[in-house]
A and B are shown apart, each in its own frame.
Chain A
């Protein structure tokens, strides 16, 4: 990315939402030396693996969340099956207004 042509810098910023801070917190906690489940290099590798189309369609912390999830699946910390069930459960709770 460095050195490539690009447009003007949009000087945008926003106050981070709680979910964004939590994604950040997850990465910090998962990459701590005393309980290491992944590294920052793996975070970046799995972000780069998203490919340009997906990369640009996601927000910063959405990319992080995709990458963290992919890395935890690769390491077997989570399985596709339990993640699928949990996501369905979360969707139900959202639909019922519990989240």
Chain B
């Protein structure tokens, strides 16, 4: 059906084969490395950190990254608060910073349970949080996207931005994992 619809749309001049090809290439170029670079910059540069928290889209644009088609809200983990993101309606995800979402993010079970029993779901991801940590679950909407700013691992004070970026995994930016220095 994909082939049929695509060919018909091209034949009718609604879109071109070239547009489809370029769109797929752009998609392939978006990976979690982009989000990791943003997190590493936020850990390293207090001015950037402030801007990122106030206006996520403007902040990522200062790094030469796509501004993104939706409002970007960055939620920061602290020793007291752990943030995690979900899209209960469908699969909204900060794709311009993380690429396409993994299957589990789009699954019925993740979307159903994350808003109701986040600690149990996080445990399934191997993340056991202290009882006194507040867990905040952020449900994405059609017009905005969340990104979790994980906590900087201890013992990385002297690390350069690039080294730091290598510590930041996709799952930590969704909030189902944390960053560790090794």
* B50 part of interface (Cβ distance < 8 Å): no
In the complex, the answer to whether A4 meets B112 with C-beta atoms within 8 Å is: yes
Closest-CB distance, B27 to chain A (whole angstroms)? 6
Chain A residue contacts of B2, Cβ below 8 A? 19, 22-23, 26, 65
A9-B121, A21-B27 known; A30-B15 Cβ under 8 A: yes
Interface string of B40-84 (1 = CB under 8 A from A): 000000000000000000000000000000000000000000000
**A5-54 with Cβ < 8 A to chain B:** 5-14, 16, 18-19, 21-26, 28-30, 35, 37, 40-41, 44, 47
Chain A residue contacts of B154, Cβ below 8 A? none
Chain A residue contacts of B116, Cβ below 8 A? 2-4
In the complex, the answer to whether A69 meets B5 with C-beta atoms within 8 Å is: yes
Residue in A2, A7, A14, A22 whose beta carbon sits within 8 Å of that of B6 in the complex: A22
Q: Tally chain B residues at the interface, Cβ within 8 Å.
A: 42
Chain B residue contacts of A68, Cβ below 8 A? 5
Name the prevailing secondary structure of the A interface residues.
helix
Name the prevailing secondary structure of the B interface residues.
helix
In the complex, the answer to whether A83 meets B24 with C-beta atoms within 8 Å is: no
Residue in B19, B89, B91 whose beta carbon sits within 8 Å of that of A29 in the complex: B19
In the complex, the answer to whether B113 meets A24 with C-beta atoms within 8 Å is: no
Chain B residue contacts of A5, Cβ below 8 A? 112-113
Chain B residue contacts of A90, Cβ below 8 A? 3-4, 7
* Interface pairs A-B: 9 shortest CB-CB: A2-B88, A25-B23, A13-B102, A6-B112, A6-B109, A86-B4, A4-B112, A21-B24, A87-B4
Give B contacts to A, CB under 8 Å: 1-9, 12, 14-15, 19-20, 23-24, 27-28, 86, 88-91, 100, 102-104, 106-113, 115-116, 121, 124-125, 139, 142
8 example contacts (A-B, Cβ-Cβ < 8 A) are as follows A1-B88, A9-B109, A21-B24, A25-B20, A78-B9, A87-B1, A87-B4, A99-B3
